[in-house]
Chain A
Amino acid sequence: MSVDTKTVARIAHLARLKLPEEKLEPLAGELNQLLAWVEQLSEVNTDNVAPLTSVVHVKLPQRPDAVTDGDRRDDVLSNAPDAQNGFFAVPKVIE
């Protein structure tokens, strides 16, 4: 499997990363180098092996479905690059 510049551009768009044209080629090279290196995992027989999902052997804790916190609008907005009238403001999405 080899990654070309078109693929890098596609992944970059999926990841919402703007990459300058001149970075695509070197990044394709780096990704290919890394993917070739991790290819060694195909040597390992993983038939009938379950994927590891958690290293801690506990049941996920549960709590009552109740509001325990709130009224923190100003805290939540305090770091926003653009907050208006108690909301996060973003470029227009709907005309």
Chain B
Amino acid sequence: MSNLTDLTIAAALSGLEKGEFTARELTQAYVTEVEKGRALNAYTTETPEKALEMADAADAARRAGTAGPLSGIPLAIKDLFCTKDVLTTASSHILDGFKPPYESSVTANLWRDGAVMLGKVSLDEFAMGSSNETSFYGPVENPWRTTDGKSRVPGGSSGGSAAAVAAHLAAAATGTDTGGSIRQPASFCGLAGIKPTYGRCSRWGIIAFASSLDQAGPIARTVEDAAIMLRSMAGYDPKDSTSIDTPVPDYARALTGDIRGLRIGIPREYRMDGTPPEILDLWDRGIQWMKDAGAQIVDISLPHTKYALATYYIVAPAEASSNLARYDGVRYGLREQGGSLNQMYENTRGAGFGHEVQRRILIGTYVLSAGYYDAYYLKAQKVRTLIAQDFEQAFGKVDAILTPTAPCSAFSPGEKSADPISMYLNDVFTVPASLAGIPGMSVPAGVCGQGLPLGLQILGRPFEEETVLKVGHVIEQAAAFAGRPTAWWKEAA
């Protein structure tokens, strides 16, 4: 049973159902892979004992006929989700030793459905980053390397989630997406990742970055697995006032392969100057696959696209600066002593936050400060309205939108960290959908000249994740992306 960790969630569920192996055997296989994969630095906390205990409970439930839709499936949890009595760090020094006395709603939903927790996986500090290089616990490495063996970043902020799933150190993982933090790492690591509609998954118990944008979603190896995961993660939660009370469909049933007659929008503004030809070629191939499957291609315009990133980098830091005000050394985490209360706050926050987080807190504080609020924050909120209206108008003409996920394949560690704007440009195709709150998915669709995965992005109307998944599934089938990274990390173990 050496290759239990190669099974998709769908195949593993079927094997468990037929009794071909137990949840304990499956979990043990993953626990072993997690140990062998430490060179990737994907996990910040491993919980093998808890995993085996949960697996035994899943086996018992299956024997009793009470197995849930994810019973016995071993998952990695982004360390931004609070997990009861298990260290939760947001990859920040300031949360040293924090063990939440409560469980986030999304993870509670997963455990309700029988899933197994292998551990907590790394991220950019407080989910701020697009490369997973800003974690206090060190960078995560992408399991994929270039054909000539060079290291790459896994993307971010859900870089640990994507690396763990791509290296088969978990069957799937939770992620969160504020400006592209599920879709971009999924693209960089050859995986399917979906950010659902804002309000689809509860944000309760997820450490907040930018509350009007943050949304949880799955990162998985296939579109079907992402659909299975999302069904368990999603759902109304009275504890989150932005949670939407609407039924959760059985998403996997949407994957019919039939998109005949569906109208697919191609936004002309996404054909940006300087986009590498291989990204544009991939997009063209995607358009052809849509046509071959009987969909209708419609040219559309999203005129405010070019302003989305600048809008995002006012709105997100503004919200972050107020959300991160709670880390003051009083109630949890790090405390650095000081002569007065204010000095204690300042010393704690100065020592506890990394450079990128500090920079965003400063920007956010500045754009919200007296005299600048109207010029920056209010202006950005108005442009945000126009960006959301662009999508509303487009969805009057089309059922889904197809774009590239990122403007490049995974880049080298250190390549972009010196220049924040060049790092921020990674999210140029993902941020507009985040600002509008609509669902978006990345599906692996090809490889670049250096042998690294490339993704295509599908956007949909609010709460039409089924359409997004259906189109994603057709792209997945057409692309027949079968690549897998060579397991160099096992030699390092």
Please list the residues of chain A having a beta carbon within 8 angstroms of any beta carbon in chain B.
1, 3, 7-8, 11-20, 27, 30-31, 33-35, 37-38, 40-44, 46, 49-56, 58, 60-61, 63, 72, 75-76, 78-82, 88, 90-91, 93
Contacts and interface: CB of A to CB of B under 8 A. Distances in A.
A51 B381 contact: yes
B388 interface: yes
Contact of B350 (A1, A19, A41): A19
B313 A34 contact: yes
B366 A46 contact: no
Interface string B195-223: 00011000000000000100000000000
B366 A44 contact: no
B331 A41 contact: no
A6 B241 CA distance: 40
Nearest to A28: B362
A54 B304 CA distance: 18
A12 B358 CA distance: 9
B347 interface: yes
A11 B102 CA distance: 34
Contacts of B375: 1
A55 B212 contact: yes
Nearest to B97: A79
Contact of B358 (A17, A43, A72): A17
Contacts of B385: 49-52
Contact of A78 (B99, B344, B345): B99
Contact of B198 (A19, A50, A56, A75): A56
B362 A91 contact: no
Closest 5 CB pairs of A and B: A55-B437, A18-B350, A51-B381, A79-B332, A81-B335
A9 B339 CA distance: 19
A91 B338 contact: yes
Contacts of B343: 18, 91
A41 B380 contact: yes
A14 B380 CA distance: 22
Given A15-B362, A63-B238, A41 B310 contact: yes
A92 B421 CA distance: 42
A31 B365 CA distance: 12
A14 B467 CA distance: 46
Nearest to B198: A55
A76 B349 CA distance: 21
Interface in B291-306: 304, 306
Contact of B321 (A3, A15, A63, A76): A15
Contact of B241 (A27, A31, A61): A61
A84 to B, nearest CB: 12
B353 A17 contact: yes
Contacts of A31: 359, 362-363, 366
Contacts of A1: 372, 375
Interface in B325-378: 325, 328-335, 337-347, 349-351, 353, 358-359, 361-363, 365-366, 369, 372, 375-376, 378
A43 B337 CA distance: 47
A29 to B, nearest CB: 11
A78 to B, nearest CB: 5
Interface residues of B, number: 71
A11 B244 contact: no
Given A37-B421, A53-B381, A56-B199, A18 B313 contact: no
Contact of B101 (A35, A40, A44, A75): A75
Contacts of B435: 55
Contacts of B334: 81
Interface string B308-319: 001101100000
Contact of A56 (B100, B244, B307, B342): B244
A52 to B, nearest CB: 4
B421 A11 contact: no
Contact of A88 (B307, B314, B330): B330
Contacts of A80: 330-332
Nearest to B321: A15
B263 interface: no
Contacts of A37: 310, 313, 421
B255 to A, nearest CB: 26
26 contacts: A15-B361, A16-B346, A17-B350, A18-B343, A27-B362, A30-B359, A31-B359, A31-B363, A38-B380, A41-B311, A41-B380, A44-B383, A49-B383, A52-B381, A52-B385, A52-B388, A54-B242, A55-B198, A55-B199, A56-B199, A75-B102, A79-B98, A79-B331, A88-B331, A90-B330, A91-B339
A17 B242 contact: no
B420 interface: yes
A48 B242 CA distance: 26
Contacts of A46: 379, 382-383, 386
A44 B437 contact: no
Contacts of B97: 79
A12 B362 contact: yes
